[in-house]
Structure 1
Amino acid sequence: MNKTATEKKDYTATKNACKLCSPLGAALVFKGIRGAVPLLHGSQGCSTYIRRYLISHFREPMDIACSNFAEDTAIFGGGANLKLALENIRKQYAPALVGVATTCLSETIGDDVPMFIREYRAMFPEADLPPIIHVSTPSYQGTHMQGFHGAVLATVEALAGDGRPEDPGDGKMRINLFPGMASPEDLRHLKEIMTDFGVPATILPDYSRTLDGGPWTEYQRIPEGGTAVADIRRSGTAAASLEFGRILAEERRTAGTFLEKAFNVPCRRLGLPVGIRETDRFFETLAAVTGLSIPEKYLEERGRLIDALVDGHKIVNLKRAVIYGEEDLVVGLASFLGEIGVMPVLCASGGKSGYLEKAIAEIFPEHVGKGVRVLDNADFVDIEGAARELAPDLIIGHSKGYTLSRRIKVPLVRVGFPIHDRVGGARLSLLGYRGALQLFDRIADTLIQQRQDASAVGYTYM
């Protein structure tokens, strides 16, 4: 029987959550906008935790500002703190944009952040102030992915078609691409694809350089790279928007649906392009929208992927896997595993959209309730209990599942965010034929190593 969010647990607290806080997702989006500074309206501990968590995954320094709540702020409100923080950021960073994400504390006391921002602007009527984007991100109501998508939506709503005459559009066919929480390596791959198609693309967010750059001779408060504010303003003139995520496609209000309703920009809602089927759909949609042919190099990449799947089929076929993480990633991974003959016996997420089971059922209609178990709104206590019953051959997910992997003695293939116990989490590729090939190799090699380590002779050839 599948377990839903409405069933009662035998404990009241979440233990080792399989999700992260909403402001973290919002901060990541703002780090992907050129010249932007994220500002958390709340206590200093929130910004310190989020900075440290992101740094441990991306291995890059980063600044995240904070309005620095104290005891008196929690009682009398944080308006003065927010205005002071905004002014400090303006003087010290000269940002192109400030993204304000609210934390649990400021949301709980009911701070009216839009009013505070209006009051701050009124204090400097002659100043050329940057756009200030506000997104509501109380963690007690959502996950890091809801904060992420909320920040993308808030940014597009605030900037697209804001009437500035200097941003009428450049006359070229442009595509808006909202890829979700992809790795910097995958963002670079998506940019390469758009370049090969010869179509300018506004990818939001784009932290492929800001969170995975080269060495510095001196500290940069705002790293180079990111989606330009001017390009976001032109998003209402695009030929189409592409959004990744089967779970996101169930939401009524997203950046893509806003642009479709407000500016008649058609929105194509696709699954995360992991594996052959979903990547085929992405390339076919891109070709249909642009009227251009799929570049030959990607047809060759598809061929190499299929050849590799044939070569390694005997290694992975009929294996059983536990997968966990953010919901759209779990759906994408499940789709790919089905293509290579691996049964995803457990698909688990800390998200609680209520759409996960439906999305998995669309991929495995004959197996849900039989061979595939779905857990949403789950923590690692739930996941470990189910995994012990299901006896998988491998586990696929981020590094927070390592202790689970160690306890039940099943190898972990690290995918997604966060990856804190390995180098290179930001450089892992997952999307497209290229990413699927790399993931397949890692899955197959993990199974080979497991069998090799268990061998009495430790063979060196197969």
Structure 2
Amino acid sequence: METLKEIKSKEFTSTRNACKVCTPLGASVVYKGIEGCVPLIHGSQGCATYIRRYLISHYKEPVDIASTNFTEETAIFGGEKNLFIAIKNVTKQYNPKIIGIATTCLSEVIGDDMRKIIHRYKTENEGDTNLPELVFVNTPSFMGTHINGFHDTILSLVKAFATHKKTTQSVNIFPGFLSPADLQLLKEIFADVAINPIMVPDYSDILDNEYTGEYEKLPKGGTTIKELQETGSAKASIEFGYILNKSNAKSQTAAEFLEADFGVPRINFNIPIGINATDAFFSELEKLTNTKTPEKYTKQRGKLVDAYVDGHKYVFGKKAVVYGEEDFVIAMISFLEEIGIETVLCASGGDSGLLKNVIQEKIKPRKTINIHDNFDFEEIATVCKELKPDILIGNSKGYYIARELGIPLARVGFPIHDRLGGSRIKHIGYEGTQQLFDTIANTLIQQMQENSPVGYKYM
């Protein structure tokens, strides 16, 4: 068996089962959260098919992703002609308000100048009254992860539409790559504290839709163009996460852009998972509204504390491996520190180089954690054999590791491809933390119960 030291000293020529997804997939999720928007992948048909199938498997909703369908000829002579045809076809079939274009490895390698190409298309079709808004983001899959694509797309949208008129009482909320249930919960919280939120993106209804019996090409919901324009006039911006899309020092988030160019104050903190992080979130809401947190949420907090007490003996001292997007695992570690679970390995496919420093500075864990970014699942599996955790916490891609080692997996985050309800998992706030705590505690209890020699049925 390879030791952790041997793994760290070993150089691989390729990733083995990546703990990340491609950048245009993240862009597509954001575009789906914009009202009347159709994502258009500028590359091969296979890229769009892969993204569409991957998202459908998690959200269990129809996800239309258009493609410019590169061929061998396109790869040599450029994709402008294909893009023009695709825009016309998407406009005719969907009548969208926005077409959100994301590049792929192929279009990036051949060097398509997207700004120039789109400008030419707009010029040639200037008199077309049905011409949708056209936005694009550079998302080469050979750089970054789906999270980079996600946040870079938000930035591109805000840059394309934000204007500043008179400062309003609206608050921008950039929640990051959360579940539709989390976004619905956030909107409920803002309504209860009388704040008008501009959420970018808002796929809470689009990727968790009701059944109507009819297929909708463009499901209702999403951040509107008007709301994107008003982000530049908001009272403040709230942005969850510390790493976001900062793969290099020059990277800028949407909230940073609005603060620098429009003077909209940026409020930044950890994803509100756990009591401490949620307390910080509600503290900021109190400052913004100059009112106290509604009793509804103080009661939720009290019930969560009570649940911590009830379940303490089942979780305290257990060893966990946490994996997923960088900001997500940071928030999860903060939560696990609260409930007494020791994180023995924190792993992410993200490659910002910031993960270790952020955890040490922001979370200050009680014990040393093996922290690795740019890690793949084969590396996670090998380290797990050495560290012998009691539980894995992350998406369904780690199931084969849990199965091989005979330890349980608490499924959270994205993607969850082997269970129903991935879009309905709540992670944030007191309510989401309660759901997470119950899930983790019951997962550990079930493992102990199934491996008990007496088969007890009463705790």
- Range of TM-score over shorter length: over 0.9
Counterpart for residue 441 of structure 2: 444
CA distance 1:195–1:145, shift in 2 (3 Å): same
How many angstroms does 1:210 deviate by?
0.6
Q: What secondary structure, in the 3-state scheme, does the structure 2 residue paired with 1:151 have?
A: helix
- Contact kept, 8 Å, 1:323 with 1:330, in 2: the verdict is yes
2:36 is aligned with 1:35: yes
Q: 1:69 and 1:384 mapped to 2: Cα distance?
A: 37
2:435 is aligned with 1:429: no
Segments of structure 2 that go 5 or more residues without pairing to the other structure are: none
Q: 1:457 and 1:402 mapped to 2: Cα distance?
A: 27
2:183 is aligned with 1:200: no
Q: Which amino acid aligns with 1:179?
A: P
Of 236, 244, 247, the residue aligned with 1:248 is 244
Counterpart for residue 222 of structure 1: 218
2:397 is aligned with 1:400: yes
Q: 2:10 and 2:375 mapped to 1: Cα distance?
A: 10
Counterpart for residue 52 of structure 2: 51
- Contact kept, 8 Å, 1:249 with 1:269, in 2: the verdict is no
Q: 1:237 and 1:89 mapped to 2: Cα distance?
A: 32
Counterpart for residue 77 of structure 2: 76
How many angstroms does 1:268 deviate by?
0.5
Counterpart for residue 175 of structure 1: 171
Q: What secondary structure, in the 3-state scheme, does the structure 2 residue paired with 1:138 have?
A: coil
Q: Which amino acid aligns with 2:178?
A: A
How many angstroms does 1:2 deviate by?
8.8
Counterpart for residue 66 of structure 1: 67
CA distance 1:83–1:9, shift in 2 (3 Å): farther
Q: 1:172 and 1:242 mapped to 2: Cα distance?
A: 15
Q: 1:262 and 1:182 mapped to 2: Cα distance?
A: 27
Counterpart for residue 457 of structure 1: 454
Q: 1:362 and 1:434 mapped to 2: Cα distance?
A: 27
- Contact kept, 8 Å, 1:58 with 1:425, in 2: the verdict is yes
Q: 2:394 and 2:220 mapped to 1: Cα distance?
A: 30
Question: Following superposition of structure 1 onto structure 2, how do residues 17-416 of structure 1 map, counting pairs within 5 Å?
Answer: 17-128=18-129, 129-161=131-163, 168=165, 172-248=168-244, 252-363=251-362, 365=364, 367=366, 371-416=368-413
- Contact kept, 8 Å, 1:160 with 1:234, in 2: the verdict is yes
2:26 is aligned with 1:9: no
Q: Which amino acid aligns with 2:398?
A: G
CA distance 1:9–1:140, shift in 2 (3 Å): farther
Q: Which amino acid aligns with 2:215?
A: Y
- Contact kept, 8 Å, 1:21 with 1:144, in 2: the verdict is yes
Q: What secondary structure, in the 3-state scheme, does the structure 2 residue paired with 1:140 have?
A: coil
Q: 1:219 and 1:366 mapped to 2: Cα distance?
A: 49
The number of aligned residues is 453
- Contact kept, 8 Å, 1:175 with 1:202, in 2: the verdict is yes
Q: 1:203 and 1:141 mapped to 2: Cα distance?
A: 27
Q: Which amino acid aligns with 1:225?
A: G
Q: 2:103 and 2:245 mapped to 1: Cα distance?
A: 25
Q: Which amino acid aligns with 2:280?
A: R
Q: Which amino acid aligns with 1:408?
A: L
Q: Which amino acid aligns with 1:124?
A: N
Q: 2:346 and 2:393 mapped to 1: Cα distance?
A: 10
Q: What secondary structure, in the 3-state scheme, does the structure 2 residue paired with 1:272 have?
A: coil
What's the Cα RMSD here? Answer: 1.8
Q: Which amino acid aligns with 2:370?
A: R
Q: 1:426 and 1:213 mapped to 2: Cα distance?
A: 10
How many angstroms does 1:117 deviate by?
0.4
Q: Which amino acid aligns with 1:43?
A: S
Q: 1:34 and 1:290 mapped to 2: Cα distance?
A: 28
Q: Which amino acid aligns with 1:160?
A: A
Q: 2:11 and 2:154 mapped to 1: Cα distance?
A: 37
How many angstroms does 1:36 deviate by?
0.5
Q: Which amino acid aligns with 2:281?
A: F
Question: Identity, % of aligned pairs?
Answer: 52
Q: 2:157 and 2:11 mapped to 1: Cα distance?
A: 41
How many angstroms does 1:141 deviate by?
0.7
How many angstroms does 1:42 deviate by?
0.2
